[in-house]
Structure 1
Amino acid sequence: MAEPSATYLVGVILISAAITWTLRAAPFALLAPLRRSALLPYLSASMPVGVMTILVIYSLLSSASTSPGARPWAALAIATSVTAAVHLWRRNFVLSILVGTGLHVVLASTVLAA
């Protein structure tokens, strides 16, 4: 089996570098026209709420279908309410998520499992 020539290796490296550079620069080139449009400010204002709503609904439905116990919706409702209350009280995403998740685990595995 013959070894590749130096010219072949340099060509492969140059082609790989050109493809890598193009793929990294493409998003910036494609987004430049969007920066001047009215669409980007609208999306930046409305998307976070929409994405979070979809994630919450998906998580609740997924958790209800896989939760152990006779009343998974009760544990979900209580944990979701406490999560919202802690967030409104402290305005801390990490704290509210940790408290809500911990409460749901406790409720689903012990109190409401019977």
Structure 2
Amino acid sequence: MVPAIIVCAAVTFSLRFFPVLLAHRYRDREDLQEFAALLPAGLMLILVVYTLLEADSGAQLGRLLLAAAVSVLVKLGTRNFLVGFVAGFLAYSLSGLLS
């Protein structure tokens, strides 16, 4: 049992240590800085499109679009991702209760 724990600990440490080591080595590259700046928005766009495409009904699609619009507008207004996320979540939840 102890050898298995040691192996798991070593793998876990390696999976966290080596990416940080590589990122530190290449952090001054301009192309990677641009990629890092665009990556969060690109991933969020992929998740939103996938969610909208997988809507079960027109009502759910409407609720999702409302939540996405509220989330984006609040985020742009407050410049705070967390506030926008919570506002979108509340809009989706409340629209489900009201419909």
Name the TM-score, length of structure 1 as normaliser: 0.57
Q: Which amino acid letter does the alignment assign opposite residue 110 of structure 1?
A: L
Look at both structures and tell me which one has the larger radius of gyration over its CA atoms: 1
Report deviation, 1:38: 4.7
Aligned counterpart, 1:50: 42
Percentage of identical aligned residues = 28
RMSD over equivalenced CA pairs, Å = 3.3
Q: CA deviation at 1:34?
A: 3.5
- Unpaired segments ≥5 residues, structure 2: none
Q: 1:31 to 1:87 in 2, by over 3 A?
A: closer
Aligned residues: 93
Structure with the higher fraction of residues in helix conformation: 2
- Bigger relative contact order, structure 1 or 2 (CA pairs below 8 A, ≥6 apart): 1
User: Is 2:98 the partner of 1:110?
Assistant: yes
Q: Which amino acid aligns with 1:48?
A: P
From 5, 10, 18, the counterpart of 1:20: 10
Per-residue deviation, 1:25: 4.9
- TM-score, with length taken from structure 2: 0.63
